[in-house]
Chains A and B, each alone.
Chain A
Amino acid sequence: MARAPYQNGLTIATPVLPGHDAALAAVLDEINEAVPSHEDLPFDQLERVHFLRWVVLPAATDDLGRQTDSQLVLSTNYDEPLAAHLTELVDVGGPALDRIYQHCTGYPAPGERSDGDVISYLRAHDVGYDTLYVGTRGRTVKQIRREADLRTAIQQFLDERSREDPSLRGQSPEAVRASIQDFVRSDPDLSPKALLRSDSNFAWARSDPPEAPSRWPQPWDSTLFAALTTALLLLVALPWASGSGWALLGVEGALLLGGFGAYVAWLRRRERRDEEFPPVTDYEHVRRLAETEDRIVQNQMSSVTTVKAGRLRYATLCTVLWAIDLFGRYVYTEGRLGSISSIHFARWVAIDDGRRLVFFSNFDGSWENYLGDFIDKAASGLTAVWSNTVGFPKTRFLVGAGARDEKRFKAYARNSQVLTQVWYSAYRDLTVQNINNNSAIRAGLFGDQTPAETRAWLRRL
């Protein structure tokens, strides 16, 4: 059985040439107007890209007065491998990349650049990510589109069959399933599926779906786990090896406890000193953002915030981001982050040597619903992340209060949001729940089922 491929995130940050901001914005606006089929970048021909955005992060000054120039950030969610993704991007959108990146520092001049140079340029500015959450684990763009077509065709078949053959309603669940199987096996030219975009027949649907594992390790996990285990073992082994046993273990325990206590005391001191910002937003800014929203089934959010000063703050942030990334790959792999089932992809990226934190997400439904879910269902995790940035509502012990202050949190979210200049979705009419349900329909189409499984499978239609 084929193994399901990895979906990954690419983040490319490039400095904008001084004085080029307006010209760059004009190019991006023009491209965005023509999504998904701009002539310089026909997005819908990209077979490996789930979501793509370009965002200009405006120039900024941090707490300590350090300047950052404006940067262009390209963020994609793609099907691995990376090399194939970049090659496809340059193949399909080369002219657009040239028009965009001529406004960024270091982009090779025309005449001197090959496709390889463009790819090298992009790779050289890859800033990675700290946390990546995926709601549709293991499903490629192609699979998502195909399975949506399959489900549509089955539904149309059921509509037609119900009209033509009222006895369908008197049949057993097994018989209904068998007639759906017959339909999928039938001659493609006689069925609505011949009209569908991705395949002329459903031969693919008769093969087993790719095996979707329940855990998604990354190469660096094992190194980290090994390091942690070694540290733990050393802590235990050293006392015994030195012969002083319990006493040394006690000292270690005391040191660790003392260290933790000192950390908590430091954190609480900082939290008490944090400024409480009013729940006030720039209304024009909110209006500009809202005007771009609710165009298709999904919405997007790009936000950039300033990390609070201090190494320990940054270390706290990195640890939390790492832990959430790990949870997303080992625990929340079935399309739900806790009980939030509306997130396709979301990522946090610390940029500018950890001075700023970028958040990009692609989610189903309204901003108001998304923020409500944050507060109602994920307040602790989000508080642990964003409390390390300036302007967040006051917190207690890293995870307490914070995002639960509804009005302040919503104001913080809107204030830190920036306009996304270009945004593309590969499946504009599908929610995470739809995509995962479509996969379950396909997975249960053929093969053995118990009567209860067949009844449950039919309820997915």
Chain B
Amino acid sequence: MASLELTDMQGFLARGYRGLPEASFLLFRIEEPAAAQAWCRSLAADVTPADPKPSTSALQVAFTGDGLRALGFGDDTLQTFDQAFWEGMDAPYRQRILGDDGESAPGNWRWGTEESPAHVLVMLFAVDADTLDARVETVRDGLQGLAETERLDTTSFEPAREHFGFRDGISQPIVDGLSRTGAPENTVPPGEFFLGYPNAYGERPVRPSVPLAHDPEEILPRTDTEHSGVRGDLGHNGTYVVARQLSQDVQGFWTFVTEASEEVYGSAEERHRLAAKMVGRWRNGAPLALAPDDPDAEPRDDFGYHEEDPDGLRCPFASHLRRSNPRDSLEGGPEESTTVSNRHRLVRRGRPYGPPLADDFDVDDMLAATDDAERGLHFLCLCGDIARQFEFTQQTWIENQKFSGLYDDPDPLMGSPEDESTTFTIPDTPVRRRVTDMQRFVEVRGGAYFFMPSLTALRFLGRADLPA
């Protein structure tokens, strides 16, 4: 088992703070670099580490590539990060990788663009709303050199679910070295999420680093990479955080599902079945691969597809669940498939936002509701390699209409179907059912790639010797 330096990591790497249901995410623009550095110094003491676990509230902080640039770092630092990180999520060719077109194009985003940059992200978690508001105020009072650009509030549902009404957050990889343990096929090495540790290839890839001139106080540990000599190790015990604000069209989704279930199952009564086929789980979280006909079965995560469902008769190949983590069902046999799948895992830490369309999540109530409030998911995930994990998953599995031998099937839940030729194929006997003319129910409203530094690296950011 890997030994992790938990006291140097931010707590968000180790836990999603389920016990702190209230959360707010604040975005800032850096206006005066020197003052912002002073702010970093004062904030460092308030940042919650992974150990010990906090009881009533937590604060985490992360920076975008633009944010580090605004602090005064140059290409000799930025370009040691993943190219995706310093180019930014809104770089033009990324739209094709991520499926951010039409209404979801970065030009229409509220934040994370050139016009509305996100330089610094402060995440606050608290046990209740009063504690949260108090912490937000404290952060605002202490601001120096930064201007707040967005406050992104969240909503918590018990049990955890998303706005369409499905249980969420059931499936997570187990990180070797953290306290949670589980099946080996769901366990990945810490380097997949924490920089500086061995990854799924058994390598410790080169980490973000800074020229020694930036670190006269020798705060950072030293790297010694042959080609670039001794540098300050900025990445160690840090991670990348992918943030995307995903707006959900709940009525659009259930209207579509209700009509489509009449079409392919001959009855609107079957809408929960069709929705489950699209998601891969029943609303309570029970996986179709284990419980194809029982909406009330236990919401489990210990299953594969190779034995239980090789032909997709239970859980369609095109379903969101099967394509966001194919487990043992890719080509090459269950063992190879599991190895390959585990090289593209994400730790998901998202939270819903906006009021529920109906408090009880009843579909009829949701369809009858007359409320046009915005709601959706603040998607957040951790990864050690943005291109190989987040962007790969998005491009090769979620957005890929050819996933698993399919033809025209986007992800029925999260995908961005390009035209009316798109379909959702449901393997069945004697022959498949097929929903045609798929629609988009989720739009991107903002997003950015962040770097969440270790406590040591954060201290360094406050004290770095940077050109004015």
Stretch at the interface among A248-256, A319-327, A402-410: A402-410
- CB-CB under 8 A from B367, the residues of chain A are none
Give CA–CA (A247, B331) in the complex, Å: 51
Q: Does A315 contact B (CB under 8 A)?
A: no
Q: Does A147 contact B (CB under 8 A)?
A: no
Are A372 and B340 in contact (CB-based, < 8 A)? yes
Which A40-67 residues have C-beta < 8 A from chain B?
Answer: none
Give CA–CA (A61, B433) in the complex, Å: 59
- CB-CB under 8 A from A459, the residues of chain B are 311, 427, 432
Give CA–CA (A276, B225) in the complex, Å: 12
Are B434 and A458 in contact (CB-based, < 8 A)? no
Residue of B nearest to A279 (CB): B206
A-B contacts, CB under 8 A, total: 116
Given contacts A406-B201, A433-B402, whether A376 and B93 have CB atoms under 8 Å apart is: no
Q: Does B400 contact A (CB under 8 A)?
A: yes
Stretch at the interface among B145-153, B277-285, B318-326, B387-395: B387-395
- CB-CB under 8 A from B436, the residues of chain A are 159
Contact mask for chain B residues 327-361; partner A; CB cutoff 8 A; 1 contact, 0 none: 00001110010011001100000000000000000
Residues of chain B touching chain A, judged by Cβ–Cβ distance below 8 Å, are: 79, 83, 87, 92-93, 96-97, 201, 203, 205-206, 225-228, 263-264, 266, 311, 331-333, 336, 339-340, 343-344, 387-388, 391-392, 395-396, 400, 402, 405, 407, 427-434, 436
Give CA–CA (A40, B77) in the complex, Å: 48
Max chain B CB contacts within 10 Å: which of A171, A341, A404, A406?
Answer: A406
Given contacts A166-B266, A278-B227, A279-B206, whether A291 and B392 have CB atoms under 8 Å apart is: no
Are B343 and A286 in contact (CB-based, < 8 A)? no
Give CA–CA (A283, B225) in the complex, Å: 19
Are B434 and A159 in contact (CB-based, < 8 A)? yes
20 pairs across A/B with beta carbons < 8 Å? A155-B434, A159-B436, A277-B227, A283-B83, A286-B83, A287-B93, A293-B93, A294-B96, A338-B332, A339-B332, A339-B336, A366-B396, A376-B336, A404-B201, A405-B201, A406-B203, A406-B388, A407-B205, A434-B407, A458-B430
A147 CB to closest chain B CB (Å) equals 13
Are A339 and B333 in contact (CB-based, < 8 A)? yes
Q: Does A27 contact B (CB under 8 A)?
A: no
Are A280 and B227 in contact (CB-based, < 8 A)? yes
Q: Does A377 contact B (CB under 8 A)?
A: yes
Q: A159-B434, A294-B97, A364-B402 are in contact. List 19 more A-B contacts (CB 8 A).
A: A158-B434, A162-B433, A168-B431, A172-B430, A278-B227, A293-B93, A293-B96, A294-B96, A339-B331, A339-B333, A369-B392, A369-B395, A372-B340, A372-B388, A376-B343, A377-B340, A433-B405, A455-B430, A458-B432
Residue of A nearest to B332 (CB): A339
Give CA–CA (A278, B165) in the complex, Å: 48
Residue of A nearest to B225 (CB): A278
Give CA–CA (A459, B387) in the complex, Å: 34
Contact mask for chain A residues 356-385; partner B; CB cutoff 8 A; 1 contact, 0 none: 000000001110110010011100000000
Given contacts A291-B92, A339-B331, A366-B97, whether A407 and B203 have CB atoms under 8 Å apart is: yes
Residue of A nearest to B200 (CB): A406
- CB-CB under 8 A from A405, the residues of chain B are 201, 203
Given contacts A278-B225, A283-B83, A339-B332, whether A290 and B93 have CB atoms under 8 Å apart is: yes
Give CA–CA (A369, B266) in the complex, Å: 39
Give CA–CA (A168, B87) in the complex, Å: 53
The 3 closest A-B pairs by CB, nearest first: A339-B332, A278-B227, A433-B405
Given contacts A341-B331, A368-B387, whether A458 and B392 have CB atoms under 8 Å apart is: no
Point out the residue from B264, B331, B400, B429 that lies within 8 Å of A365, measured CB to CB: B400
- CB-CB under 8 A from B79, the residues of chain A are 283
Residue of B nearest to A456 (CB): B311
Point out the residue from A163, A278, A281, A406 that lies within 8 Å of B228, measured CB to CB: A278
A163 CB to closest chain B CB (Å) equals 7
- CB-CB under 8 A from B331, the residues of chain A are 336, 339, 341
B336 CB to closest chain A CB (Å) equals 6
Q: Does A169 contact B (CB under 8 A)?
A: yes
Max chain B CB contacts within 10 Å: which of A283, A341, A368, A404?
Answer: A368
Give CA–CA (A336, B392) in the complex, Å: 21
Are A368 and B336 in contact (CB-based, < 8 A)? no
- CB-CB under 8 A from B343, the residues of chain A are 372, 376
Are A171 and B402 in contact (CB-based, < 8 A)? no
- CB-CB under 8 A from A388, the residues of chain B are none
Residue of A nearest to B80 (CB): A280
Q: Does A415 contact B (CB under 8 A)?
A: no
- CB-CB under 8 A from B333, the residues of chain A are 339
Give CA–CA (A283, B96) in the complex, Å: 18
Are A291 and B93 in contact (CB-based, < 8 A)? yes
